[in-house]
Amino acid sequence: MATKIAIRERCKDDDYGVIRKEISVLRSPPFETPTKCIKNLENPLPTTAQINEVTKRVSLRTVESFRSGYEQPKDLRLRCITNKLNLTIFDLMFDSAPSHEITKSLSSYWYASSENTLFVPTVRAKMLKEDKTWSELRILQCVAFLRDLINVTEMKNYKPFIGTIPLLPFRFAKPFVDLYLEKDFNAYAIDVGNRDLLNHIGDLRSILYEINERIPLNEVFVYACNLGIPQFEEHVSRADDFLSLFAYIDAFGNTFKSKGGGDIDKRPKPPPPRAKKFLKEDLEYILLPNDPSKYGSFNQREQVKETDVVRSLVGVEKMQKYLDTKKGVDLNAIKHLGTIIEKIRIK
């Protein structure tokens, strides 16, 4: 049986999917959700940030470098931060499921590079597609590979797993969910693939509903990464990544993928990448014609502060009252977020 993350519900909101939980993971200090993860921040670090992301793109060449001794797990461990929950996230660049021998080497590299959790690697959309459309066969091949990776790693493991689920139409996401439920995981990561979560709220709702049918969501840890925002706004865009916290997401992370998946090939071409500056007063981004990375550090710090505010209000003040003060949160966002708690009731 898998080692589990210790989770205790403190309180929750009645109108939105926001639960304040206490999370304990092995030797990492306990912390409370909802929270914002940090990545590649320089000192001084926000004192209330509790999760640090350590991301690594891993290709077949990377695995071979590890087997040859050129890639060292200690290089990733050096990016861990003391007294934080460090999530080592492998972003696989594989085009198809690798051999069992490659999987065994990947398992060793993954295990040695990870501190107190084993975050099941994210995969690229190409691994799941045939001719630019989601392929049931390729998805099942990917799930079989992940099962092999988990099975190999379980034999030497004491760390809890976090099962990664790509945000796909539910018929394609379900094999990932079924694998992790079968393995008795109580922590899940939703890889949104750089898409706007509120425009795919039905897919998220179906995934969370399935998990909740087996394990109540107040007994699981749910993380999300690679969250996008509406792409076609001209000057200001709603902060849909932050609003994920109102859809049963306990912690939202950063973006480490260069493009999303799904039906993106059928959409109009988005505008060139722009800088986005987070306004916590409105839950909006100002879009500016600058280097897209210009405000990355600023945005993380501001989002940590605002997440602290949300966490302090859970069980004390209705989340609707908080959202009413944010001009960036329109009726469409309220409607989408409301469908989560309407359809998913905690047992």
Instruction: Give the per-residue SS3 of the chain.
Output: CCCCCEEEEEEECCCCECEEEEEEECCEEEEECCEECECCCCCCCCCCCCEEEEEEEECHHHHHHHHHCCCCHHHHHCCCCCCCEEEEEEEECCCCCCCHHHHHHHHHHHHHHCCCCEECCEECHHHHEECCEECHHHHHHHHHHHHHHHHHHHCCCCCCEEEEEECCCHHHHHHHHHHHHHCCCCEEEEECCCCEHHHHHHHHHHHHHHHHHHCCHHHCEEEEECCECCCCCCCEEECHHHHHHHECCCEECCCCCCCCCHHHHHCCCCCCCCEEEEECCCCEEEEECCCCCCCHHHHHHHHHHHHHHHHHHCCCCCHHHHHHCCCCCCHHHHHHHHHHHHHCCCC
pTM: predicted TM-score of the whole model, two decimal places:
0.94
Q: Which domains does the chain possess?
A: 6-343 (3.20.20)
pLDDT value of position 271: 65
**pLDDT by 10-residue block (mean), the chain, 347 residues:** 90 96 95 97 94 97 93 93 97 97 97 96 96 96 98 91 98 98 97 95 97 97 96 89 98 84 50 87 93 92 98 96 96 95 87
